[in-house]
Structure 1
Amino acid sequence: MSMRRWCGRVLALAGSVVVAIGSTAGIAAGTTSGHFTGRLGDGATWAADVPQSWNGTTILYSHGFGPLNAQNAPDDATKQALLGSGYALVGSSYSGPSWWALASAVRDQFGALSAVEQLTGPPRRTIAWGTSMGGLVSALEAEDAGGRLDGVLSTCGLVAGGLNLNNYQLDGEYALAHLLAPGQNIKLVRFASPDEANASAAALTKIATDAQSTPAGQARIALAAALMNEPTWFTGSEPPAPADYAGQEVQQQQALSRMVLGFVVSGRYQIELAAGGNTSFTAGVAYRALVNGSTHSRQVRALYRAAGLDLDADLTALTRDADIRPDPQAVRTLARTSMVTGRLRVPTLDIHTTADQLVPVEQEDWYGKQVYRAGGGTSLRQAYVDGTGHCAFQQAESIAALHALESRIETGRWGDVAEPGRLNEAAAGLGGAGRYVRFDPPRLTGGLGEPGR
């Protein structure tokens, strides 16, 4: 064991309380099986499960955005499947002060890992697995592995980070408010309370619902959706046809009004609370350049023509009237806690659905470029599931990705284990019907460093 890893355990345990629940039968020299919980010095809690027939691999699971409760697997069914295969599982709650707990998450995750290793002894292998916001946590862990990790699996991960997320979401929210309800003066940033954020979420949701009744409203909804990187597939077994622009807009509108706006606008309060202010901006953004660079540009232009609207006039108005500026200290805080550098220290596999309404697959394009610029391209593989929904993977698809990462760790090379065909074969062997496909994610509209921003 490295001195750094040993010291990390001691520091983590210095403020922790460990409670063991269930079996305490030894499964090997220095190991214990059962369910365990504990508390770290900063108040974060953790939970771990160690099967009696431990295979020597520990999975460090990072949960997504939401209440700060300790979680060590994506869901109960996956948890039981992993335990049944011999994996030990551990994860922390993080310690806040808000649900956007990026300032503490990596520290708390490694603290939880150190605490459970005092019970099990050192694992043969440790893999970080994160979901959604937890995918960003795991991506940050890949840059700060320090001998504690052997690999990272990021699933539906928010890998483009908090600054990008806040900016492109604000672009779409601003377009809805300014073009469809210019007299309502809807607050978009610097929320003083959850109630304020919820009120804005409700107002924008109503706008997106009411506007669907006219062609002009539909065109402007499509524009806002393009700025937010919203996919054109929300429900159904197949996406609308590539040139079915009206059908695509219906799917986007349903996603925005049924789930996206309510979630992301209210969630902004939590991010601002963690950052200490507003980190996003509209002032100085060239909205024509954003639309020109969007994968949905043809759709937006077609719907504007069908509605008899002047797209250039709307884009000029958005650019001219934009006046939201960020709080510099908040930007620095989010840049420090919630953005990746791309400097990977361990092999990393990202998986994403091709149509993700909450964490658009375009984030993978931004992240891949970041990793390649940092020289880590040989450590990264990205794989895509042909499906709609946020984190909407079959259990077999997720575990097939885990096994592909394990193969890379064992052999020191990727080979073809993360290719769609091999992943689908592995999923089939686990009882699923893998939907992995070859896919090139579009560029992230509104991302930092992208045209228009």
Structure 2
Amino acid sequence: MAFGHLRWLCCAALAVSQAACAPHFASPVLAAEGSVNAAHLRGDVLWSVRVPEHWNGTLLVWSRGYARKAGAPEAAPDRFIVPLLARGYALAGSDYGSGGWALADAVPAQNLVVDEFARKYGKPRRVIGWGMSMGGLVTSALAEQDKPRIDGALALCSSIGGAVGMMNMALDGAFAFRTLVAPNEGIQLVGVKDDMANGRRVAAAVAQAQTSADGRARIALAGVLAGIPGWTGPDSPEPSGDDFEAQVDEIAKAFAMGVMLPREDQETRAGGPFSWNTGIDYRRQLEKSGRSAFVERLYRSAGLDLDDDLARLASAERISAKPQAVSYMMAHYTPDANPRVPLLAVQAIGDGMTSPSLQRAYGKAAPGTLVQSLYVRRSGHCAFSQDEILAALDTLEGRLEAGRWSRPGAPFIAYDPPPMLRPCFRGRSCQ
């Protein structure tokens, strides 16, 4: 059915609940849901769309973040639906047909959504992929395909550094913490049987370690190795650069979630552990971080010998990965940092779950002028405001129209995060 021949209703007669209506819009909104079967996926892919009557011709394809179960398909996060429809965007998204680390399913599922939208409602003038967290990585994967279905990509608070590098860096933080702080608490680094229970063990050990100067210094070291910034709490002010104690508190807030990233499902899909720290020199990693003065100051205050702890890490038994598991995670998904369409990456400087260093690594690895990396001064994971999302879309659409990136203004700030300590991109060596 061509877009121009649609009969516009507040809710279309296509398996839509009344809750999907938007009665406060001056123009009616078509809201539809459906499914499409694909033999190469695990099962039916459920999709959801919202289309305003005065569609501007651009389709925004939303990619959700990590979820243990697929859940209901989202055309966009609830808090952004009204302003995006008011701008005339059509919205679409799927449930990927799967929960968990669904990168193998998500990319073809999202392509199916684009095709299904075009078949039912008319071919969009422009398709922009956007997503947050794991969904930002899905969006990057869509942009890196040889023949992308999208014309531009917006990766927000994204694990854009890729599965292997991101999880290796998390492993480093968890390894240092378990070795130096909690060797007898039953913390699993790989081969995780229950992510939630493992995370609770880490959170309890962090809470105990915070009560002593020794523990706080070691939390700082482990957090730096994991790439956790010194500001992570969405309800706390940004610590000053010399307020090291406040920065430790901020690292501790995010530590359990930031280093014990979901492994259970990923390792099941991959066929075993895909992270490793064999051959990693943690003394060198600390030097590369640019944050050694922060750690050294806390060690001095605690009366601890940093050299002794680094020697303990050097002599501790290391973790090896299964080559076939690494191969799976490289394919699903470790970026090549070579998008075929313009890609805008936006990150908060205080995100303790997807380290800002991941975005820095992607931006530096990407060739040419297709990628722009921007930052906002806020903390927390994926807590962007409506204004920030709209400004990001304006920036990306400006690039698509003009063929070049504009000079960023508010709400974006100049910022250069610490480096990603375990960069890993397809076609290049992994550290």
Place the TM-score, normalised by the shorter chain, in its bin.
Answer: 0.7 to 0.9
**Identical-pair percentage:** 36
- Equivalent residue in structure 1 for 2:300, among 300, 305, 312: 305
Aligned: 1:324 with 2:319:
yes
CA drift of 1:49 comes to 1.4
Aligned residues: 401
* Distance across 2 between alignment mates of 1:147 and 1:204: 41
Residues 353-410 of structure 1, C-alpha deviation per residue, up to 9 Å, x if partnerless?
A: 01111001000111012212xxxx3111111101111112111111111011111111
CA contact (8 A) 2:230 2:250 kept: yes
Residues 239-291 of structure 1, C-alpha deviation per residue, up to 9 Å, x if partnerless?
A: 1111111121111112225x545xx34x1112212222111112221111111
Letter in 2 for 1:325: S
* Distance across 2 between alignment mates of 1:289 and 1:406: 41
Q: Which residue of 1 is the match for residue 190 of structure 2?
A: 189
- Equivalent residue in structure 1 for 2:369, among 344, 359, 378: 378
- Equivalent residue in structure 2 for 1:369, among 364, 377, 380: 364
Q: Which residue of 2 is the match for residue 106 of structure 1?
A: 107
* Distance across 1 between alignment mates of 2:17 and 2:204: 50
CA gap of 1:35–1:95, structure 2 versus 1, over 3 A, is closer
* Distance across 1 between alignment mates of 2:89 and 2:297: 51
* Larger deviation, residues 405-414 vs 122-131: 405-414
CA gap of 1:312–1:46, structure 2 versus 1, over 3 A, is same
Letter in 1 for 2:169: Y
* Larger deviation, residues 211-220 vs 269-278: 269-278
Q: Which residue of 1 is the match for residue 33 of structure 2?
A: 36
* Distance across 2 between alignment mates of 1:388 and 1:21: 36
CA contact (8 A) 1:62 1:131 kept: yes
* Distance across 1 between alignment mates of 2:222 and 2:211: 16
Please, what TM-score do these two structures have when normalized by structure 2? 0.88
CA drift of 1:141 comes to 0.7
Letter in 2 for 1:33: L
Aligned: 1:289 with 2:323:
no
Letter in 1 for 2:104: A
Please, what TM-score do these two structures have when normalized by structure 1? 0.84
Aligned: 1:158 with 2:159:
yes
Letter in 1 for 2:354: V
- Equivalent residue in structure 2 for 1:447, among 417, 423, 429: 423
Aligned: 1:246 with 2:222:
no
Letter in 2 for 1:253: A
Q: Which residue of 1 is the match for residue 26 of structure 2?
A: none
For structure 1, the 5+ residue unaligned runs are 1-17, 24-31, 425-433
Q: Trace 1:215-230 onto structure 2 (pairs within 5 A).
A: 215-230=213-228
Aligned: 1:393 with 2:371:
no
* Distance across 1 between alignment mates of 2:183 and 2:338: 44
Letter in 2 for 1:93: D
Greater share of helix: 1
CA contact (8 A) 2:398 2:406 kept: no
CA drift of 1:440 comes to 1.5
* Distance across 2 between alignment mates of 1:306 and 1:72: 49
CA drift of 1:36 comes to 2.6
Letter in 2 for 1:39: V
Letter in 2 for 1:320: S
CA contact (8 A) 1:151 1:347 kept: yes
Q: Which residue of 2 is the match for residue 201 of structure 1?
A: 199
* Larger deviation, residues 316-325 vs 65-74: 65-74
Aligned: 1:341 with 2:343:
no
* Distance across 2 between alignment mates of 1:78 and 1:293: 39
Letter in 1 for 2:414: R
Aligned: 1:413 with 2:367:
no
Letter in 2 for 1:245: F
* Distance across 1 between alignment mates of 2:334 and 2:227: 19
- Equivalent residue in structure 1 for 2:70, among 68, 71, 80: 68
CA drift of 1:185 comes to 4.5
CA drift of 1:215 comes to 0.6
Secondary structure at 1:402 match in 2? helix
CA drift of 1:182 comes to 2.4
Residues 165-186 of structure 1, C-alpha deviation per residue, up to 9 Å, x if partnerless?
A: 1111111111111111223453
